[in-house]
Structure formats: structure tokens, C-alpha cells
Chain A
Amino acid sequence: MSARPASPFARFALVSSALVLVALILVLPLISVFIEAFRGGVQAWFEAVSHPDAVAALKLTLWVAAIVVPVNVILGVVAGWALGKFEFPGRSLLITLIDLPFAVSPVVAGLLFILLFGRRGWFGPWLGDRGLEVIFAPTGIILATLFVTFPFVARELIPLMQSSGNEEEEAARVLGAGFFQTFFRVTLPNIKWALLYGIILCTARAVGEFGAVSVVSGHIRGQTNTLPLEVEILYNEYRTQAAFSVASLLACVALVALVVKALARKYSNERHRNDEKGVR
């Protein structure tokens, strides 16, 4: 189709159908989660979310996020730096590889870890002999989540670090700044909003990951059950109201993530606009 200016009517029709679609596909399900969660009243909601299994699942989920997010931030910054600021052979291949966790189905990612660390896996027996369980244990959940959420931070940073070039860093070096001084005083302030954006996405996914975690977790209640898995179990047991109550916790995480994300986007865009106005 050519890019003819649309008539006012066509524009109205397009915009309103987009809005209706968004409402139907995105907003309605979110609202229904909360409606279902509070169907039995606040009391029932509270009982569901304070059930020992739910609390254990919440704790495990937070633990996993608390480990996965910082690790991926460090890995992502290092990867973003290496790939964004330096030219070397194999660079574009590496950039493609970073997206691998997005490209493969999370279930496949989970199976991959079973293949590596399962009882009959490549490293499983060796680790098992030393009393280290990975599969059906929190370690496996952490590894699988790490894998699935790895691209978020790196992907945000690579284009930004690429476009901002190396000039400010080089200026800092000539002025006598060491590696860490350069990073914390010059590089970090330039990437902080994109970094925050990546962290939010990474956190949201780490908390909500289902597929990969489901494969390696073993679904042991109170031990290896994360929030999404707990929701599924409750739902399968026809405890719909409890399932939605626990799901409402996840929905809250998503909402907070959305708000922070919108803010981060806004600020990083402003920053970009300033860059275009001048500086370089």
C-alpha cells in the first residue's frame, strides 16, 4: 500500500479499532485477574496468598530474581560494552547469539539444562556424586532463568553503547581516569536509563518465567515451586480463586514494571533528543 494521507474517517476507524484491540487483548485479561482474585472477598484473597505454599513460592521467586538480575546486569553490561564499543572478528555472530535465548522456546531451554545436568545428563552424574543437585532444585531454576533472561540487558545496551561511541571514554582516559573511574563517571551515567529499562524487563521475566522453569523445577511444593508454577498447580486443582489470587501478585509485578519502564523510556528518549541537539 502507498502512504497516502488517510481520511479523517479512516484514521478514526484505525485508531479506535487499535484501542479496542488493546483493550480486549491486554487490559481485559489483566482486569479479570483482579476480579477473579477478589471474587471471594479480601479475606479469601489474603488466605490464598498467605498459604505456606504460596509464601514459599513467593520467597523462591524473589530469591531467584535477586540472584538472576544482578548476574545478568553484570553480564549484560560486559557484553554490551564489548560488543558495542569494540570491533573484532566474530562480533556480529556474537550479537546474533545473544538473541538465542529469545529465539528458542523456553521449554527447549529447560530441556537443554536437563540434558546438561540431569541424572543421565553430561555433567549430572559427576555433580550428583559430589552431592550437588541441579535439576529439580533451586540451582536449576536459577540457571534456566539466567539463560532465558540473559538478552534483556545486553540488547538494550548494545545499540546505545554503539551509537554513543568511544569518544567520551577516550577523553576520560587521556585525562588520567582509570578503567573503573571511566566506567562509573562517564559510561554509566550515559547508559543508566537504558540499563534501568533492561533491568525492569529482566526482572519481570525472571519473576514470571514459566516454561523453562517448569521443565527443571520438578514442582515440589514448598521447595521448588515458583509463583507461576504455583498458579498452574492451583488452577489444575480447580482452586480457581486461589490461583487468581496468587496470579494477582504476578500481575502487580507486571504493573510496577510497566510504570517504571514507561518512565525509563521517557527519560532515555529525552536524553537522546538532547544528544541530537548538540554535544557531539
Chain B
Amino acid sequence: MSIEVRGISKQFGTHAALDGVSILVEPGEFVALLGPSGSGKTSLLRIIAGLEQPDAGSVHFHGEDATARDAKDRKVGFVFQHYALFGRMTVFENVAFGMRVKPRANRPPESEIRRKVEELLHLVQLDWMQDRLPSELSGGQRQRVALARALAVEPRVLLLDEPFGSLDAKVRRELRSWLRRLHDEIHLTSLFVTHDQEEALQMADRVVLLHEGRIEQIGTPDEIRSRPASYFVREFLEIS
């Protein structure tokens, strides 16, 4: 399933957080949204998820206009920068949440929910932690629970906001290659935010470079490395 944004603009007060941003993420692609702090990465992700309305432009999934659709009906998986796990629910209940809130008609039976949650926790290598509270997990473990929770509703696309932002370098590297492998297994169209250029160039199929609400360059890591489109790109990527 493709993700497409066309001419997205978003104003906060007098400040333009996004200014005419258009991106097409092909089905199954793994795209990094790279840019310095305040460049509008989170804002764009929130608009795609429906948590924020754009002032102009539209959001399309699989070519279908979803701009007017409510966040709860968009079927996107969203992994928040600070995990946003449900603090009062166990790991199991966190992952099961998306299935439990489905309308009765297509809510899976309890046995099915259990099977699915266990499968997902196995996928993120946390099966032995189902009964813990989020506060009893390490940062990297929370991150993986957040991912399992997002995947539990079988989203059509996956949005990740600095998924490794608050982790130390070693865990970061591990999770990075783990996430990339996971993506290669399940081929879920993914857009992930980072302000770490190394991370973006290493993991992504293509990189979108955002600067002050505008796109500086879109391209594969190789293209960007060998043909930076502007002085900013060169500077930001520290290409000599």
C-alpha cells in the first residue's frame, strides 16, 4: 500500500511548519524522513496519521484520498517518539488494545487475540515479558512493545517517529538492523523519522531530506551521497 502526500502545508501561528511537501512512498518501500530539529518531520507524520489536519494539501493511501478520514479509521501503525505506551496496562494488554477496541462484529475472539499477541511478542523477542508494566521495561524493550502494538491492528502502513531517539548507541545499532530485517520480512510500507543522517542513509531504501518545512532532496542513499542537491544537504550530511 502506497503513501502519498500532495502539497501539504501546515501553519502554527505565523510559523510555517510545512510548506508544500509532496512525497510518494511506494508499496513495500522503507523511506527515511531526515531533517534537523524543528524541520517539520513530526508534523508531517502526524498529518499522515490524521492526528493533525493540514492547512492545504492531501493525504492518499493506495491512491485513495484519506485527508478527511479520522485517525481511528486510517489503519496506520504509529510508533511514537516517546513510545506512548499505556502505562496502566501490561505489555500483553498494550499489544491487545487495538484488537479489543474493534467493533464487536469484527473483533477477534479472545483465543485469537491471545494467539496474535503472543505471535507479535515473539516477533519482537519479548514473549517472556507479557505481564510486565511498561515502567518495568528498558527503553529498547518499550520501543519494541510499541512496535508490536502498532503491528497488532495489521496496519496498511507503518509510521515511526524517531523510533530510536532516546536509546543509547549500542541498542540503537541493534534495533536498527533488527527493524530493517523485520521490514524485509513483512514488507510493510514504512516511513520513519530520524535526525541521524547515518541512520537514514544506512537503513532506508530512499531518503527524504526536510529543511524548514520544505523538501531539500529525495533520493536513494547513494544518490544523495554522490549528488547532494544543495549546500544544505552537503552541510547536513557532512559530505566533504
Contacts and interface: CB of A to CB of B under 8 A. Distances in A.
Nearest to A275: B87
B112 to A, nearest CB: 16
Q: On chain A, which size bracket covers the interface?
A: 20 to 34
B72 A173 contact: yes
A174 B101 contact: no
Contacts of A170: 51, 71, 80, 84
Interface stretch (A121-129, A176-184, A203-211): A176-184
Nearest to A179: B72
Contacts of B73: 176
A171 B80 contact: yes
B76 interface: yes
A168 B134 contact: no
Contacts of B153: 175-176
Interface stretch (A50-58, A98-106, A185-193, A220-228): A185-193
A169 to B, nearest CB: 9
Contacts of A168: 84-87
A173 B87 contact: no
A54 B204 CA distance: 77
Nearest to A164: B87
From A175, A185, A186, A274, name the one whose CB has the most chain B CB atoms within 10 angstroms: A175
B87 A279 contact: yes
B30 interface: no
A271 B156 CA distance: 35
A167 interface: yes
A275 B78 CA distance: 22
26 contacts: A167-B80, A167-B84, A168-B87, A170-B51, A170-B80, A170-B84, A171-B84, A171-B85, A173-B51, A174-B49, A174-B71, A174-B77, A174-B150, A175-B98, A176-B72, A176-B73, A177-B97, A178-B72, A185-B97, A185-B100, A185-B101, A186-B86, A189-B88, A274-B135, A279-B87, A279-B134
Interface of A: 167-168, 170-178, 181, 185-186, 189-190, 274-275, 277-280
